[in-house]
Chains A and B, each alone.
Chain A
Amino acid sequence: MQLTTRRLRCLSVVALVVTTLGTAHAQPPPDHANAAPTAALPAAAPTVSSLVWRASSEVAAYADTDHVFVLTPTLGVNVASPTAGWSVGARYLVDVVSAASVDIVSTASRRWEEIRHVGSVDAVYKPGLWGVAAHGAISDEPDYQAYSAGGEVTRDFLQKNVTALLGYEHAHDIAGRTGTAFSVFSHPLNRDAFKAGLTVLVDRSTIASFVADVIVENGDPSKPYRYVPLFAPGTVVQRGESIDDVTRARLSARVLEQLPLTRERFAIAARIAHRFRGATLRVDERLYTDSWGLHATTTDARFLVDASSRVEIGPHARLHAQTSVDFWQRGYVLRPGFDFPALRTGDRELGPLVGLTGGARIRVGLGGEEHPKSWLLGFDLNLTSTQFLDDIFTTHRLSTIGALTLETEL
């Protein structure tokens, strides 16, 4: 797999270099006759200034029946020159997490609270047929740091009816323990992500996008807090068995989670958006598989209706279903000689599950008569029901996330 990773990385770098050089040598002058919105970037509203400033804020609140609460305020700013074809943006996000989930309670631990800070920047330059983009992000929390940087190259074909995309991102994460210096204890994680995409104008009202991702992860992603209960051979552990029953049935020995040190992940996705008169239908489908044996399908649909020139509303539905990883077991067995599975996890998101989301969003334009959506107030609410098909402690989780957004174009 190292060879495969090296080949993919090499191919991506070559593609990025070749296409970037191509931009310098073969770039035609900006085609103002084709200044209509491209497949990848819808046109900005006309303004007097050549620069368009956008600012946005979002406050999202998450809660679930597993006693996890998250508050996430986000601030973003973006400046773009539609005539020159560039834009630069930055975003800052904070996660305030408070959790007393069943996994925490089952290990007799108390509620924990944590704050995560994320800063990101991005830049796009697309003066004509060729476009380049770059992005970077830093995430920091007491026991986890993440750094990522990447870039994309796009090229329009067939009079901008087709846009191809190649992208690459490298991420370096450091997982540690709260209260312990990273120099004393930490697990480095590296991720190389390769993306290829194609966006096609199907007709004057329909756009289709296809994306393929190959993500190669190296490092130990095991959670240093997550203990896995062990059971004697022959012990029957029921699905959804309570904490008390598990405590009675399990052995006194318990071991930390241990996940494989490499993971190759593959996803292909298609997105269709169709514009009706006064409404838009968007449908996404993603198929996923990885080297841990997890297979998944995710379907996402939105129907957005222009209720008036100022108000847009629309329902949202999402269905996610996945199998478990190969080494998933409801109850791991400890055999004589302190023999237990080398790979083990208690992470429910690595087990078989089905999640169904229903929700809606509304956007209200607060701007003047000429540009009613120059100020946009929005509210999104989603409710997700997740069935855990082969887990101890719990079989179901109900979660909700609401987000209040304010966007403005200056």
Chain B
Amino acid sequence: MSSLRFVSLVAVVALFLFGCVRVAPYERGNMAHPTMTTSDLAGAGEMHVRSVQEGAVGGGFEAGGGCGCN
């Protein structure tokens, strides 16, 4: 649970640090570019390979399913 507390603290700090800067709607043209998406840019195949080759998960959108190419 200490990890959860730490994450909550980071989130609150981030909210106050960055939340002070307001970006108006008409200033968000750069955010509309497809490369600025908050999603992962890796394709399905690359994400599945990562999920098999790396012992860590989380922090993004992983491909689900079985052991595949393990």
Shortest CB distance A231–B (Å): 24
* A267: Cβ under 8 A from any B Cβ: yes
Q: Is the CB of B15 within 8 A of A198?
A: yes
Q: Is the CB of A199 within 8 A of B23?
A: no
CA distance A112 to B32 in the complex (A): 46
Q: Which residue of A141, A373, A401 has the most chain B CB atoms within 10 A of its CB atom? A: A401
* A132: Cβ under 8 A from any B Cβ: no
Q: Is the CB of A139 within 8 A of B66?
A: yes
When distances are taken between beta carbons in the complex, the residues of chain B under 8 Å from A186 are none
The 8 A CB mask of A327-350 against B (1 = contact, 0 = none) is: 000000000000000000001011
Given contacts A43-B32, A162-B18, A304-B35, contact A62 B49 (CB under 8 A): yes
Q: Is the CB of B21 within 8 A of A72?
A: no
* A220: Cβ under 8 A from any B Cβ: no
Q: Is the CB of B30 within 8 A of A4?
A: no
When distances are taken between beta carbons in the complex, the residues of chain B under 8 Å from A202 are 18, 21
CA distance A158 to B63 in the complex (A): 33
Residues of A203-248 whose CB lies within 8 A of B: 203-205, 207-215, 223
Given contacts A160-B25, A401-B49, contact A298 B54 (CB under 8 A): yes
Q: Is the CB of B52 within 8 A of A288?
A: no
Q: Is the CB of B66 within 8 A of A386?
A: no
CA distance A198 to B43 in the complex (A): 23
CA distance A148 to B48 in the complex (A): 16
Residues of B19-54 whose CB lies within 8 A of A: 19, 21-38, 41-46, 48-49, 52-54
Shortest CB distance A12–B (Å): 12
Query: How many inter-chain residue pairs (CB < 8 Å) link A and B?
Result: 236
Shortest CB distance B53–A (Å): 6
When distances are taken between beta carbons in the complex, the residues of chain A under 8 Å from B58 are 193, 211, 213, 215, 265-267, 269, 286, 288
CA distance A215 to B4 in the complex (A): 12
CA distance A312 to B35 in the complex (A): 10
Shortest CB distance B24–A (Å): 8
- Which residue from chain A places its CB closest to the CB of B22 in the assembled complex? A161
Given contacts A137-B64, A275-B33, contact A208 B45 (CB under 8 A): no
When distances are taken between beta carbons in the complex, the residues of chain A under 8 Å from B21 are 161, 201-203
* A322: Cβ under 8 A from any B Cβ: yes
- Which residue from chain A places its CB closest to the CB of B34 in the assembled complex? A42
Residues of A277-312 whose CB lies within 8 A of B: 280, 282, 284, 286, 288-289, 294, 296, 298, 302, 304, 312
CA distance A399 to B66 in the complex (A): 20
Residues of A164-209 whose CB lies within 8 A of B: 171, 173, 175, 193, 196, 198-205, 207-209
Q: Which residue of A62, A145, A146, A320 has the most chain B CB atoms within 10 A of its CB atom? A: A62
Give the contacting residue for B60; candidates A211, A215, A280, A386; CB below 8 A: A211
Q: Is the CB of A350 within 8 A of B23?
A: no
CA distance A161 to B44 in the complex (A): 30
- Which residue from chain B places its CB closest to the CB of A386 in the assembled complex? B53
Q: Is the CB of A267 within 8 A of B69?
A: no
Shortest CB distance B23–A (Å): 4
When distances are taken between beta carbons in the complex, the residues of chain A under 8 Å from B53 are 320, 349, 355, 384, 386, 399
* A271: Cβ under 8 A from any B Cβ: yes
Give the contacting residue for B56; candidates A91, A171, A199, A296; CB below 8 A: A296
When distances are taken between beta carbons in the complex, the residues of chain B under 8 Å from A175 are 66
When distances are taken between beta carbons in the complex, the residues of chain A under 8 Å from B15 are 157, 162, 198, 200
Please report B residues at the A interface, Cβ cutoff 8 Å.
1, 3-4, 6-7, 10-11, 14-15, 18-19, 21-38, 41-46, 48-49, 52-60, 63-70
Extra 14 A-B pairs, beta carbons < 8 Å, given A286-B60, A361-B41: A36-B31, A42-B34, A60-B43, A70-B45, A74-B43, A97-B69, A141-B66, A158-B22, A200-B15, A215-B57, A282-B41, A284-B60, A286-B56, A403-B46
- 18 A-B pairs with CB atoms under 8 Å apart are A37-B28, A70-B45, A72-B44, A74-B43, A144-B66, A145-B66, A146-B65, A161-B21, A175-B66, A201-B18, A202-B18, A275-B31, A282-B41, A298-B59, A320-B54, A322-B56, A355-B54, A361-B41
